[in-house]
Amino acid sequence: MLRAITFFAVVAALSFLVAWLADNPGAATVVWRGYRIETSAAILLGGVAVIALVIASAWRALSLVRGLPRRIRRARHAIRRRRGYLALTRGMVAVAAGDADEAGRQVRRADALLHEPPLTLLLSAQAAQLVGDETAAGRFFTAMLTRRETEFLGVRGLLTQSMKRHDWEQALRHARRAYRLSPDSAWVAANLFDLQIRAKQWLDAEATVSESVKHKHIRAQEGRRLRAVLKHLRGLEAEAAGDAGQSATLANQANRSDPGFIPGADRLARLLLGKGRSRRALNVVEKAWTASPHPRLLEVYRGASAAETPLDVVAAVERLAKLNPGHMESRYAVAAAAAEARLWDRAKARLGELGDAAPAKVYRLFAEIEERQSGDPARGHEWLVRASRAEPDPTWVCGKCDAHVSEWVPVCPRCESFASLGWAIPSAAPALTGPEARGHEIVHEGRRELPPVGRDGG
């Protein structure tokens, strides 16, 4: 609409100008090299306009002729780029489909058409990996490091290769570089953390956890739990090195990070009890019991409560059990203490609250109570039979793969997940024993070697 209005406005203006010149022709005289030309002003202006139009048209034609080679080159370049990008796309599809031959052909075609290494290096590396040529893939990834736009992809590729080769030292160096380039990447942060755990760099791993929480890669609650485990491990190392002060400081920090972390709370409470700080030890156990009851916590609590008689022990255990009254360990603890005090009816009542799905140790305690109360070993036989058919006793169970071990370890012996063990009733899968479990332990009494830990990435 606007163009039409503009066109009619221009036509109207020109028509008005022609009409005005026709009504006012005027006179013009031109003398040049002995020639004298007399005409009207309107005709002179029209002649000048025609000459200008001819000159402009000639200049335009000359420009078109002179620019023709450049336009041809641009058109050919555009065609090559379209074909190159099409080859690049087909190569990516071939890699995704696992067609190594087609991927290789399209890589060569894209490289010849595009002449843009940043676009083809990654595809070339992936095609090389598809045929199992990791050496060639490594060269492509290394070449990508020299360009800022492809540096991260190159580092990521080299990191993945190092992890596949189990070259953990080299993988850690690549992970640090990748993290500097892209701290917002959840994949990089997760692998950096796993490699730091493998290298037992607990302090660096803590920093990575804090950054991961800040970037929302992990929840704040999970971050507190991981920091508690890492500080606990640092405390064990300090204790092994003879630095009791640093060990105690780290034990306190671990407990503040996550009061419900059982190994940390158990260790801190025992350290406090050893220094005569019974009231503080009781507080530590009570907070931990509220979150996650455990028999080791009960041992410390009974020692710190200074109970002198079996009835005093029952009273102390009942106070602790009230902090988490519905938990199986709370009811079992009260029943065991009542049995020690020969309060048979109270012990049976608390065990009866656990129902038919109770673990085996509940039925073993029933059997013990029956035998001690009656003095007849045969009275407990039925309960022992039920114990043999009951759920297994609670133990340390991996929340990722359901593997279970008798002592807490920082790394799951089966799936190598870090800080994944929790106190629970295991599945029917057999417990991990022998060297497979022992080789992964860090127990409360001292430090042992950690296993390799990692996460494959792509």
Which residues is 37 bridged to in the sheet?
A: 30
Q: Is the pLDDT of residue 456 over 80?
A: no
| Average pLDDT over all residues of the chain | 81
SS3 31: strand
What pLDDT is attached to residue 439?
Answer: 41
CB burial of 95-119 (b: ≥16 within 10 Å; e: otherwise) equals beeebbebbbbbbebbbebbeeeeb
Place of tokens 């940043």: 118
Q: Which amino acid is it at 23?
A: D
Question: Cβ contacts of residue 165 below 8 Å, gap of 6+?
Answer: none
Q: Is the pLDDT of residue 81 over 70?
A: no
How many whole angstroms from its chain centre is CA 107?
A: 32
Alpha-carbon distance 3 to 275, whole Å?
Answer: 93
What pLDDT is attached to residue 71?
Answer: 72
Is the dihedral angle over the CA atoms 67, 70, 74, 75 positive or is it negative? positive
What pLDDT is attached to residue 75?
Answer: 65
pLDDT single digits (tens) 288-343: 999 999 999 999 999 888 888 989 999 999 999 999 999 999 999 999 999 999 99
Neighbours of 51 (CB within 10 A): 10
H/E run at residue 54: helix 41-97
The domain 309-392 is placed in CATH, from the list 1.25.40, 1.10.3470, 1.20.1420, 2.30.30, at: 1.25.40
Alpha-carbon distance 333 to 318, whole Å?
Answer: 8
Terminal CA-to-CA distance of the chain, rounded, Å?
56
If you write DSSP's letter for every residue of 80-102 in order, what string do you get? HHHHHHHHHHHHHHHHHHT-HHH
pTM for the model stands at 0.71
Confidence of residue 35 (pLDDT cuts 50, 70, 90): confident
Structure tokens at 59: 């200049």
pLDDT single digits (tens) 233-268: 999 999 999 999 999 999 999 999 999 999 999 999
Q: Is the pLDDT of residue 436 over 60?
A: no
What pLDDT is attached to residue 37?
Answer: 72
What pLDDT is attached to residue 445?
Answer: 30
What pLDDT is attached to residue 88?
Answer: 53
pLDDT single digits (tens) 371-393: 888 878 788 888 998 889 899 99
Domain 219-306 of CATH type 1.25.40.10 = yes
What pLDDT is attached to residue 451?
Answer: 33
CATH 1.25.40.10 domain locations along the chain? 219-306
Q: Which residue has the higher pLDDT, 44 or 320?
A: 320
Q: Do the bridges between strand 28-32 and strand 395-398 make them parallel or antiparallel, or are there none, so unpaired?
A: unpaired
Question: Cβ contacts of residue 367 below 8 Å, gap of 6+?
Answer: 380, 381, 382, 383, 384, 387
SS3 398: strand
Alpha-carbon distance 350 to 335, whole Å?
Answer: 6
What pLDDT is attached to residue 15?
Answer: 72
- Residue 77 sits at the vertex; the CA angle it makes with 73 and 82, to the nearest 5 degrees, is 150
Neighbours of 340 (CB within 10 A): 15
pLDDT single digits (tens) 187-236: 999 999 999 999 999 999 999 999 999 999 999 999 999 999 999 999 99
What pLDDT is attached to residue 427?
Answer: 77
Q: Which residue has the higher pLDDT, 96 or 282?
A: 282
Alpha-carbon distance 121 to 158, whole Å?
Answer: 13
Q: Which amino acid is it at 328?
A: M
Q: Is the pLDDT of residue 110 over 90?
A: no
